[in-house]
Amino acid sequence: MEAYRGTSQELESRESAPDGAVVLTVLQSVYYDPPGVTSGVGGAGVATIRHVARMKKTTDGWRIVEWTPEFLDAKPRR
């Protein structure tokens, strides 16, 4: 990665588990410039990662108790 250009996130689903936990599935896009390719607008490449997080409410607030990232792909934007 030659230059990091930012990220965006999209909530794919939110599910309530029987034990009171909440499971969030989020699709994250990471925008970047690959080596040798420069873009002044938002990055020439995008990597996509799906995150699944299981959260439980505690006396101190919500805590992530399980988190699974899954790399989906990386490709040019043009």
pLDDT per residue rounded down to tens, the chain (78 residues): 677 888 999 999 999 999 999 999 999 999 988 777 766 666 688 999 999 999 999 999 999 999 999 999 998 876
CA separation for the pair 11, 51 (Å, rounded): 10
Token code pair at residue 37: 């390719």
Contact by Cβ (8 Å): 5, 43: yes
CA separation for the pair 54, 47 (Å, rounded): 23
